[in-house]
């Protein structure tokens, strides 16, 4: 019998890393790309945000590294991909909306500077994505979490454009804050200058500057790169 289907190798399941600063369009591109490829989209930032929320609720200082790690070890942080987007569960509770609020955003950037917190996160992020078939976005996915990722994208954009995009997102949600630009700049500064795993493009990342590109153009570029890896 000539069963050719048995000889077909299973399609490779890539690990795709998308890193970059806030407002560059990572989340949108990562989720659209994942949908196109039938992959799972994992937002690593949501894990830092969930821990930050727990620190707020338990009144743990954002500067107390040891207590933050203990808090993480005592927590169940789950990323649940759903058709309508990702859900984040903290100890079984759906915190997806709460972790996008301003106080948690600021706190996430502060808890993420600690090396021991990052080490805990990296272990869990590798467990989540190690099997492949994922698009994971964050700040250190291509440099630290999956340094051997099949495809690494560093998505950047001019700071003024990123601030405008954030403002538009907030306006759409009806919650405009005059300080959005200043907060984004400060978060950027912290993410890029922390001593451990600062936000930088991996040497083998494809850098895409989305300043003058539409979302569809960026997606087409990234999808093309992914398809080449799959061939």
Please say which residue, 13 or 126, places its beta carbon nearer to ligand DC.
Answer: 126
- What are the residues binding ligand DC (CB under 6 A)? 22, 44-45, 48-49, 108-109, 112, 138-141, 187, 191
Please say which residue, 39 or 45, places its beta carbon nearer to ligand DC.
Answer: 45
Check residue 10 and report its DSSP letter: P
CA dihedral sign, ordered 175, 181, 187, 188: positive
Alpha carbons within 13 angstroms on the beta-carbon side of residue 188 total: 18
Q: How far is the CB of 230 from ligand DC (least distance, A)?
A: 25
Q: How far is the CB of 228 from ligand DC (least distance, A)?
A: 25
Q: Comparing C-alpha atoms, which of 133, 116, 134 is closest to residue 44?
A: 134
- Give all strands (DSSP E) within the chain, no chain letters: 15-19, 40-43, 77-82, 85-90, 93-94, 134-138, 151-156, 206-209
Q: How far is the CB of 22 from ligand DC (least distance, A)?
A: 5
Q: How many residues comprise the chain?
A: 231
Please say which residue, 76 or 102, places its beta carbon nearer to ligand DC.
Answer: 102
Q: How far is the CB of 107 from ligand DC (least distance, A)?
A: 9
Please say which residue, 11 or 130, places its beta carbon nearer to ligand DC.
Answer: 130
Decide if 136 contacts 26 (C-beta within 8 A). no
Q: How far is the CB of 221 from ligand DC (least distance, A)?
A: 21
Please say which residue, 13 or 166, places its beta carbon nearer to ligand DC.
Answer: 166
């Amino acid at each position: 019998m000539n069963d050719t289907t048995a000889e077909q190798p299973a399609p490779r399941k890539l690990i795709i890393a998308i890193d970059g600063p806030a407002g560059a369009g990572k989340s949108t591109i990562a989720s659209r790309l994942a949908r196109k490829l039938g992959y799972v989209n994992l937002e690593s930032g949501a894990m830092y945000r969930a821990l930050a929320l727990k620190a707020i609720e338990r009144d743990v200082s954002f500067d107390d590294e040891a207590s933050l790690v203990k808090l993480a070890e005592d927590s169940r942080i789950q990323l649940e991909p759903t058709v309508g987007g990702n859900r984040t569960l903290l100890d079984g509770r759906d915190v997806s909306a709460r972790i996008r609020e301003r106080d948690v955003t600021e706190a996430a950037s502060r808890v993420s500077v600690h090396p021991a917190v990052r080490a805990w996160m990296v272990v869990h992020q590798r467990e989540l994505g190690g099997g492949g078939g994922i698009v994971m976005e964050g700040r250190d996915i291509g440099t630290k979490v999956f340094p051997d990722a099949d495809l690494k994208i560093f998505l950047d954009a001019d700071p003024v454009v990123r601030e405008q995009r954030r403002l538009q997102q907030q306006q759409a949600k009806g919650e405009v804050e005059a300080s959005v630009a200043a907060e984004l700049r400060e978060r950027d500064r912290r993410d890029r200058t922390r001593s451990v795993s600062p936000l930088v493009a991996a040497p083998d990342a494809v850098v895409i500057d989305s300043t003058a590109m539409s979302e569809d153009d960026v997606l087409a570029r990234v999808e093309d790169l992914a398809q080449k890896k799959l061939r």
